[in-house]
A and B are shown apart, each in its own frame.
Chain A
Amino acid sequence: MTTTADMTEARGGGRLVVDGLEKHYRLDGAEVPVVKGVSFTIEPGTFTSLLGPSGCGKTTTLRCVAGLETSDGGVISLDGRVLSTGSEHVSPDKRDVGMVFQNYAIWPHMSVFANAVFPLQVSAGKLPKKQARQRAMEALELVQLDAYAHRPATALSGGQQQRLALARALAHRPRLLLLDEPLSNLDAKLRDTMRNELRSLQQRLGITALYVTHDQSEALSMSDRVAVMNGGRIVQEAAPKELYFAPADRFVADFVGRVNLIPAVVRDRDANGDALVEAFGTKLVTPCPAGSGTGAEVTVTIRPESVRWHEASVDRPNLLAARVARVEFLGEIVEYEAEIVHEQTTVGRIVARGAPMDSPAEGSSVFLELAPQACRVLAA
């Protein structure tokens, strides 16, 4: 793959540091904070996602990095070069970044080639004509659009426009690639394909990428690091697996994947150093929560797929008697909801998932096992 080598030779990815970023919007005369002190660092050549519900400030953060919004506080720097302070801002065309927009922003009056070569014709990245042509074609080859170079850009399908947007963002070999929900307008199947293509391209080029999405599976599958945002703040920044199995708080646990949130009270500590908590009127063994003493109210979390079921009582810790209230067949898995029964009364519900071949019948009485190592205790 000579092209890939060519694309990477000139410049590796940059190191992005965002420190204490603030952004307000004026709304009816009032200042509404949208981003409240966001800090993160992206190491060269890695892929970081900003994940969060709509309105959490993730896109605003990205646009501040791009320079399309002027931040109100904090410092953004790329490879040590300050792009933004609260008061001074390098304009977007001088930031040396590439960006893929949610709706692609392909210029409809230009051909595919003209779109891709544009960054190499304008002031910041101007190259001699021949070189510009060669580079643009390289970028199109990267996304397998070189055969379409002279088509009108609007004649491309959604997925192709997406790839063209990517080629255009990469053509001037920026230090940083910004992606604003680039896959959200594609249908489910294409989205999966593009996800893989995007990730492998980023790894081959070794470019630094900042990706914004509200889709947790996108964030988890593509990223080296994921920063979960809520209410204008980063609530947790971690590697995907850590994020999933060790969420920092209820919000992250609930937002990333599905989770059972079980209110509980810390009662004791056992010989192994594990905690004994009371939930559903039963004692459960869980990993010891940091910093909460006896009597503290906590939340025990467990992923639906970690819950196991037994037809009869077995000698395992954390076994709860339950009645299967609902079974939903989803194809590759079965999801079922069980009512936890304690002293003949329903005290709570647990959602569990399992293989479709092996699921309890609706209405049957079962025992659910919440394995201690699968549980996680969060502050209530």
Chain B
Amino acid sequence: MSRAERATRAGRTRPTTMTVATVVAGTVIFLLLAIPLAVQVITAFRGPFLPFGVSSARWSVDNFATLWGLREDFWAVLGSTAAFVGGSTVLSLLMAFGLAWITVRTDAPFRRVISLLVIVPFIVPPIVKAQAYLLMLSPESGVLNQLIHLVPGMADVTIDPYSFPTMIVIQSLTNVTFPFLMIVPILTGMDGSLEESARVSGAGWGQTLRRVTLPMLWPGLLGVTVLTFILGLGSLEVPLLFGQESGKSIFALKLWTLISAGAGELPQYGLAAAWGCVFLVITTIAFVIYLRATRDAERRASISGKGFRPTTMKLGGWRIPVLLAVVVFTMLTAVLPLFALFWSAITPYPLAFSFEALRTQTQFGAFGEVLADGEFWASLGRTLIIAGGSATIACGAATVLAYGIARARATGWTRSMDLFASSSVAIPAVIAGFAMFLTFMVINPVIPLAGTIAALVIAYSYRVSIAYRAGFSATLQIRKELEEAALISGASRLEGFRRIVAPLLAPTVFAVWIQMFILGTNEFTLPAFLATPESRPLSVYMYAMINPRSAQLYAPDQGAAMALIFTLLVFAIGYGLQWLVSLRAIGRASRRGRVVASATDALGAAAAAVEATDDPDATDTRSVATEQVRELSRR
């Protein structure tokens, strides 16, 4: 047989390495998402405790009957969850839209600084933020209440941290960065000429906004709304810290209390699973809305031409009020929380701020104690391992699968796998945490992973959809001819992938890796369900220190010090990694234009998008950065 013949035969019969890799990656992702969800649904229908291996397990609808039996409670939870999640979603969207509009579409001063200040809280773990708000709002010693008392005529007004409206506001402030990161590219990517033609047709700013701009943005904003809603539904931090005292039972907290049984009782996994099923149905509906919205958004986006630039709105006399609003926002989301944490770290017990107290009471021992605490370093190490490991698994599998699917001919299989791999955005973190917890309990007799670091790595990887969507759109941006040219030049498919595709995908993959890594270090909800003292990451250890109920660990000053140290560390690691990459990228950037440098900049991408509007040569930079953020923030 001649060489040519052999090559021919081989090409037809043996599946290529790429195909095998795609199938393996697809299987990993499928199992990662499907098994926990299946276990949770089965648990809902099999008895009050675990679904397998216990005597009480049998098929029944008892859990749903119980749920219905307690329907007053059910409706109450549903109502307060809707109010809490819905209210905070609307509020954070309004804030995010306002801020994004200010930074992208107006001539407000310090726009770059503003967008950076909004983005920075992204790296502060939500549990730390929630704790900081708790400190800020303390009726006796909270700095925010102190500030309010300074306002003339409001000396008697005190914000109650445990009131329901306060909770909603705090939740929206905690989550506002997320919709901001998604709205900025939507605004930046808008085709300015459509607005201009409306203006030329005689419409004023207001009319243009109402009749052209908002209808154009609507599908994109709807998508952001859905994702913010699911994010809010899934986060345990604020409900856990505030909800217990407020007496309002919110879904995330309800799930949490159902499975952390009091002494002498069995935890009600079955009932919790039934709750989970109900809310999965809700988020699935939301996910379908999201899919339709993004499809519409993509359709509308494709209308836009190249080289457009949305016009900026002249603020004129509004500059001062706008700037004031931004200052208030920044005080609330960055300055005061950090100050409250710092104050808490340097005072031995909750103490109102005064210069007297500053002179006589402060001590910096907490920082030293934290640094001397072996458990701090151990949990920090675990945090880095879990965040890094899960980011690597998720990015690796998702990129391979995304590449395979984006390049495959569309069949029913690839379409359903595409949908499935994108679907983890629809799973609220509490449900994911609970489902993973059940799964590791169920398989523990066979594969003893429950409570281990490995279990946490697997659980954190459930956010694989972020990496999948990013990898998918990055692959689509690599024109197929680039690979075909490699083939024609005599490179095998593998060589083509290694030398052409991989280097072109790398900036995106790395940016997503950093983002998932930071998300991982911030994660609290998942380990709250899964971690044991031996495997707990820093976020959980920190919570134990600030939680008065964990008697022997309770040390709020150390908790606050730890939160500050940790935030600094994450900041340093995240930006350090990016800096390393951009060092490499700068070398190339001089060759390749500025595209790479900003593409690697996951956190700075939105900032880059904002900067680019000031720079007439940066259309490419902007479109790449825009695409990056849009994809990165799909979760």
Asked if A152 and B489 sit within 8 Å, CB to CB, the answer is: no
Q: Find residues 70-109 in chain A having any chain B CB closer than 8 Å to their own CB.
A: 81-82, 87-99, 101-103, 105, 107-109
Say if the beta carbon of B500 comes within 8 Å of chain A.
yes
Chain B minimum-CB-distance residue to A82? B4
Within 8 A of A (CB), among B437-487: 479, 481-482, 484-487
Chain B hits for A102, CB < 8 A: 481
Closest to A104 in B: B481
**Cα distance A161–B308 when bound, in Å?**
25
Q: Closest A residue to B9 by CB, please name it.
A: A88
Most A CB within 10 A of own CB, among B9, B488, B499: B488
- Provide the B534-575 mask, 1 if CB < 8 A to any CB of A, else 0: 000000000000000000000000000000000000000000
Answer yes or no: B591 CB below 8 A from chain A CBs.
Answer: yes
Q: Mark B21-56, 1 if CB is under 8 A from A, else 0.
A: 000000000000000000000000000000000000
Known A-B contacts A88-B12, A122-B499; A93 and B487 likewise in contact (beta carbons under 8 Å): yes
Q: Is the CB of B491 within 8 A of A101?
A: no
Residues of chain B with a CB closer than 8 A to A82's CB: 4
A152: chain B residues within 8 A (beta carbon): 588, 590-593
Asked if B504 CB lies within 8 Å of chain A CBs, one says yes
A residues near B7, Cβ cutoff 8 Å: 90-91, 94
Asked whether any CB of chain B lies closer than 8 Å to the CB of A111, the reply is yes
Given A105-B479, A122-B491, A172-B489, A68:B484 Cβ within 8 A: yes
Q: Which of A67, A94, A96, A99 contacts B485 (CB under 8 A)?
A: A99
Q: What A residues does B12 contact at CB under 8 A?
A: 87-89
Are B4 and A125 in touch, CB under 8 angstroms?
no
* Chain A residues with a Cβ closer than 8 Å to the other chain, count: 42
A151 within 8 A of B: yes
Residues 131-162 of chain A: 1 if any B CB is under 8 Å from the residue's CB, otherwise 0? 00000000000000000000110110000000
Residues A101 and B481 in contact, CB atoms below 8 Å apart: yes
Chain B: minimal CB distance from A30 (Å): 15
Instruction: Determine if B484 and A119 form an interchain contact, defined as CB atoms under 8 angstroms apart.
Output: no
B4 near A81: Cβ-Cβ < 8 Å? yes
Determine how close the nearest CB of chain A comes to the CB of B544; give it in whole angstroms. 47
Contact A105 B482 (CB under 8 A): yes
Contact A68/B591 with A93-B492, A94-B7, A109-B504 known, Cβ cut-off 8 Å: no
A119-B489 contact in complex given A89-B12, A107-B500, C-beta closer than 8 Å? yes
Shortest beta-carbon distance from A174 to chain B in Å: 9
Check: B503 CB closer than 8 A to any chain A CB: yes
CB pair A123 B484 closer than 8 Å: no
Q: B491 contacts which chain A residues (CB < 8 A)?
A: 93, 118-119, 122-124
Contact, CB under 8 Å: A155 / B487: no
Docked CA distance A98–B4 (Å): 18
A253 at the interface (CB under 8 A from B): no
Whether A105 pairs with B490 at a CB distance below 8 angstroms is no
Contact in complex: B484, A105 (CB < 8 Å)? yes
B153 at interface by CB-CB < 8 Å: no
The answer to whether B488 and A98 touch across the interface, beta carbons within 8 angstroms, is yes
**Contact yes or no, A169 B488, CB < 8 A:** yes
Name which of A94, A109, A122, A125 has the most chain B CB atoms within 10 A of its CB: A109
Which A residues from 108 to 133 make CB contacts under 8 A with B?
Answer: 108-109, 111, 118-119, 122-125
A119 to B487, CA, bound (A): 9
Interface residues of A in 151-194 (CB under 8 A from B): 151-152, 154-155, 165, 168-169, 171-172, 178
B495 at the interface (CB under 8 A from A): yes
Please state if A93 and B490 are interface contacts (CB–CB under 8 Å): yes
Q: Are B591 and A105 in touch, CB under 8 angstroms?
A: no
Contact B495 A123 (CB under 8 A): yes
B4 contacts A107, C-beta separation under 8 Å:
no
Tell me if A109 and B592 are in contact (CB < 8 A): yes
How does the 8 Å CB contact mask read for A320-348 relative to B, with 1 for contact and 0 for none?
Answer: 00000000000000000000000000000
Q: How far is the CA of A97 from the CA of B4 in the complex (A)?
A: 14
How close is B356's CB to chain A, nearest CB, in angstroms?
A: 62
- How long is the Cα–Cα vector from A151 to B593 in the complex, in angstroms? 11
Alpha-carbon distance between A171 and B491 when the two chains are bound, in angstroms: 13
Whether A154 contacts B488 by the Cβ 8 Å rule is no
Cross-chain contact A155 with B591 (CB below 8 angstroms):
yes
What's the least CB distance linking B621 to chain A, in Å? 13
Determine the chain A residues whose CB is within 8 A of the CB of B486 once the complex forms. Answer: 107, 118, 122
CB-based contact B488/A103 at 8 Å: no
A98 to B488, CA, bound (A): 6
Chain A residues near B201 (CB-CB < 8 A): none
A66 lies within 8 A of chain B by Cβ: yes
- For A108, list chain B residues within 8 Å (CB): 504, 592
What separation, in Å, do the CA atoms of A67 and B489 have in the docked complex?
A: 12
Q: How far is the CB of B500 from chain A (nearest CB, A)?
A: 6
Contact present for A103 and B479 (CB under 8 Å) = yes
| B11 interfacial contact with A, CB 8 Å | yes
Residues of A within 8 Å of B17, CB to CB, are none
Interface contact B484-A90, CB-CB below 8 Å:
no
Say whether B302 faces chain A, with CB atoms less than 8 Å apart: no
Is A94 within 8 A of B4, CB to CB? yes
| B8 close to A (CB within 8 Å) | yes
Residues of A within 8 A of B487 (CB): 67-68, 91-93
Asked, given contacts A66-B488, A124-B490, A169-B488, whether A111 binds B591 with beta carbons under 8 Å apart, the answer is yes
Q: Which residues of B pack against A, CB within 8 Å?
A: 4, 7-9, 11-12, 479, 481-482, 484-493, 495, 499-500, 503-504, 588, 590-593
Can you name 5 extra interface pairs (CB under 8 A) apart from A93-B490, A95-B488, A101-B485? A68-B484, A91-B8, A92-B484, A122-B489, A124-B489
Q: Can you report 11 residue pairs joining A to B where beta carbons are below 8 Å apart?
A: A88-B12, A90-B8, A91-B7, A91-B487, A93-B488, A105-B485, A108-B592, A119-B489, A122-B495, A152-B593, A154-B593
Name the 3 nearest CB pairs between A and B, nearest first: A124-B490, A152-B591, A119-B489
Chain A residues at the B interface, C-beta cutoff of 8 Å: 66-68, 81-82, 87-99, 101-103, 105, 107-109, 111, 118-119, 122-125, 151-152, 154-155, 165, 168-169, 171-172, 178
